[in-house]
């Protein structure tokens, strides 16, 4: 591939800003090591004007969360006629919304936990389902705002209005039954699932801090799981990638109830712009498959073109 002028779009103002800055800097350095010209852009509300002035050959979208992962930036770049990495507008709109993702994937035979949208205010009157259950924002990533509500938890019963949790920050939440067992994830690059990684937090569950704080989570790649579970996870991740119309790379997160065998495997969500930090899972799985970080970045750019 000839040398390009790549604008690396990062930062922004979502809850995942700091992670995006780390992803973007890693990508920028990798592109420079390959001889490409790189312009780093920390997104603000003058983004269209900035990109028009930069005139890149392609934008590497290293944003996480809204508005960089929900179709907003994708729609703007489409209108400008600028090529960009990762998924397009429609896919981004669906995949960032956990309820829309269920509606898209479950009819195609992809097993996902049952759930319902609840108004946060109702949680102060009672539980939407039997405990234990999980509450999460409908359209955030990186486990931002996730709470596991258990019978003996410290949120109260009903949940206390003055207790810190996602109900204080989001008007609507997705409630899902808690699935016991193990945390698995599968990256897809292009038209291929790469591997299965098991995530083993040192304490608690795989929340935002566990994802991005070094030493808090052990990544086991490849995961020590039965062959049928490995194959099912990779097949489900690739099918989800294809059904949603993902481009470049995506990452599908699973819970696996190891007491139920392959029937205990459930897809939780699909990330259309997974992290590219030193602790991120897609680069780790690419490395397992014999690919350097720079080669991974190059592959993502090639698909955008």
Catalytic residue among 17, 182, 251, 255: 251
167 forms beta bridges with: none
198 is catalytic: no
Q: Tell me the C-alpha distance between 291 and 273, whole Å.
A: 19
212 is catalytic: yes
284 is catalytic: no
116 is catalytic: no
8 forms beta bridges with: 40, 60
Catalytic residue among 84, 155, 212, 293: 212
Catalytic residue among 264, 269, 280, 293: 269
Catalytic residue among 183, 275, 280, 284: 275
206 is catalytic: no
Angle between helices 89-96 and 227-244 (to 10 degrees): 130
Catalytic residue among 69, 198, 253, 284: 253
User: Nearest-5° angle of CA 144, CA 145, CA 151?
Assistant: 135
Q: Tell me the C-alpha distance between 232 and 2, whole Å.
A: 38
For 196, the token pair is 């299965």
Of the candidates 173, 166, 133, 129, which has an alpha carbon nearest to the alpha carbon of residue 150?
A: 133
Catalytic residue among 23, 61, 87, 271: 271
Catalytic residue among 92, 142, 252, 280: 142
271 is catalytic: yes
> How many angstroms separate the most distant Cα atoms in the chain?
61
Q: Do the Cβ atoms of 81 and 231 come closer than 8 Å?
A: no
Catalytic residues: 16, 142, 212, 251, 253, 269, 271, 275
């Amino acid at each position: 591939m000839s040398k390009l002028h790549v604008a690396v779009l990062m930062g922004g103002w979502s809850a995942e800003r700091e992670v995006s800055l780390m992803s973007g800097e890693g990508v920028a350095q990798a592109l420079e090591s390959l001889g490409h010209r790189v312009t780093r852009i920390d997104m603000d509300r003058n983004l269209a004007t900035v990109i028009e002035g930069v005139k890149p050959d392609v934008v590497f979208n290293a944003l996480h969360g809204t508005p960089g992962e929900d179709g907003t930036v994708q729609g703007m770049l489409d209108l400008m006629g600028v090529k960009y990495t990762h998924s397009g507008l429609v896919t981004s709109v669906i995949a960032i919304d956990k309820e829309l993702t269920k509606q898209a994937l479950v009819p195609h035979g992809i097993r996902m936990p049952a759930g319902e949208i609840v108004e946060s205010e109702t949680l102060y009157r009672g539980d939407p389902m039997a405990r234990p259950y999980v509450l999460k924002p409908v359209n955030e990533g990186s486990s931002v705002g996730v709470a596991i509500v258990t019978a003996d938890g410290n949120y109260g019963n009903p949940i206390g209005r003055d207790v810190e949790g996602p109900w204080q920050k989001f008007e609507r939440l997705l409630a899902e039954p808690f699935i016991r067992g193990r945390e698995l994830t599968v990256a897809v690059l292009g038209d291929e699932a790469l591997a299965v990684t098991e995530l083993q937090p040192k304490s608690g569950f795989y929340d935002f801090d566990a994802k991005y704080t070094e030493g808090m989570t052990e990544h086991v790649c490849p995961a020590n799981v039965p062959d049928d579970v490995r194959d099912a996870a990779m097949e489900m991740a690739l099918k989800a990638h294809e059904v949603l119309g993902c481009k470049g790379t995506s990452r599908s997160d699973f819970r696996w109830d190891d007491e139920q065998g392959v029937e205990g495997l459930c897809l939780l969500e699909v990330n259309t712009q997974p992290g590219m930090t030193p602790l991120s899972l897609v680069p780790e799985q690419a490395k397992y498959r014999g690919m350097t970080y720079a080669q991974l970045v190059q592959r993502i750019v090639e698909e955008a073109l």
